[in-house]
Amino acid sequence: MKYRDQKGNYYEEESSQDRLLKWMYSHITGRFLLKGLVNPIVSKLGGILLNTKLSTGLISPFIKKNQIRMNEYEKKKYRSYNDFFTRKIRPEMRPICQEKTCFISPSDGKLSVYKISDNLTFQVKYTWYNLRSLVRNSKLATFYAGGTCVIIRLTVDDYHRYCYVDHGWKGKNCKIPGILHTVNPVANDFMPIFKENAREYTTIFTENFGKVTQIEVGALLVGKIRNYHEDKFVKKGQEKGYFEFGGSTIILLLEKEKVEIFPELFQWTEEGYETIVHMGETIGKAK
């Protein structure tokens, strides 16, 4: 994997998980095993197990392996692994830029950004996606022709709660069922994961950035996408929801001529880098 941060530092790494996933998606034996893992029943059973008291034994090894700085999080006694995984961070650790023109990241993660073509397609890791198939709503998809698609991939070591990018009125949550593949880029070399995975989206009529559609995408062994609100007025930085265990993805659809994402983020995406971002961090500005 190739990463940058907004200070210009860059990193390259390939974990044992990356190598395992590449084998599973590219070899016949691995794909046979994968067939069972992506079954919704398996994810459901995994979610049940991770909500039990027995699963607390997984917490300490996970903290050590992923070098989680627990002093950044609210202190509490965890009842299960999922209780730990959905832990809340101390507010001062994720300051929200409240300037009206600042467009923020709604979550921690690894960011990529793409232009949406006039025929409603964009390309991620050699795979073409069509907005109509992504949201299954032709009218909504057409609205974003010529706009921008921001993709933030959360890995298991990231903070898994997310917020609203601006003040505004949000619509209802639309759920699209599916099976659950990992969101590791390795998987996207072999199948269109954002069209396969279960997802949920809502449209927010923001005060400063036009109509923003936010899509939460579940992934392998994610128990649930938990969104709090239906139709209501929301505030910038207000917690929108959280993911239970697993890597996940947030996709933002931005209409044309409303938000200017920093140009270096486009450049780094083209060079094959994901940019490490944190919830509340500025990634663009209002036009």
- All structural domains of the chain with their residue ranges: 12-85, 94-286
Two structure tokens written together for 201: 């989206």
Mean pLDDT of 255-268: 96
Positions marked active-site: 108, 248
More confidently predicted of 216 and 194: 216
Lowest mean pLDDT among 4-18, 80-94, 220-234: 4-18
> How many angstroms from the chain centroid is the CA of residue 137?
21
**Helix 16-26 vs helix 28-37: crossing angle, to nearest 10:** 100
Indicate the Cα dihedral angle 268, 269, 274, 275, nearest 10°: 50
Can you give the C-alpha Rg of the chain in angstroms? 18
**Site of tokens 């979550």:** 107
* pLDDT above 90 for 118: no
Nearest to 119 by CA among 145, 86, 92: 145
Is 12 or 250 the better-scoring residue by pLDDT? 250
Query: Per residue in 69-111, pLDDT tens?
Result: 999 999 999 999 999 999 999 999 999 999 999 999 999 999 9
Q: Residue 108: its pLDDT value, please? A: 96
| Six-digit token string for 164 | 């609203």
Q: Of the given ranges (59-63, 104-108, 197-201, 241-245), which has the lowest mean pLDDT?
A: 197-201
Q: What is the pLDDT at residue 228?
A: 94
**CA–CA separation, 248 and 184 (whole Å):** 9
- Contacts of residue 7, Cβ cutoff 8 Å, sequence gap at least 6: none
pLDDT at 178 over 50: yes
Q: pLDDT band at residue 161, thresholds of 50, 70 and 90?
A: very high
- Tell me phi and psi for residue 144, to 5 degrees: -95, 10
Is the full-model pTM beyond 0.95? no
Please report, for residues 14, 170, 183, 259, the alpha-carbon distance to residue 118 in angstroms, rounded to integers and kept in the order given: 35, 26, 26, 17
State residue 26's pLDDT score: 52
Residues in contact with 14: Cβ distance below 8 Å, sequence separation at least 6, in sequence order: 1
| Averaged pLDDT for residues 163-167 | 98
**Which alpha helices (H) appear in the chain, and where do they start and end?**
16-26, 28-37, 40-49, 59-66, 81-85, 131-135, 138-143, 185-188, 193-196, 263-270
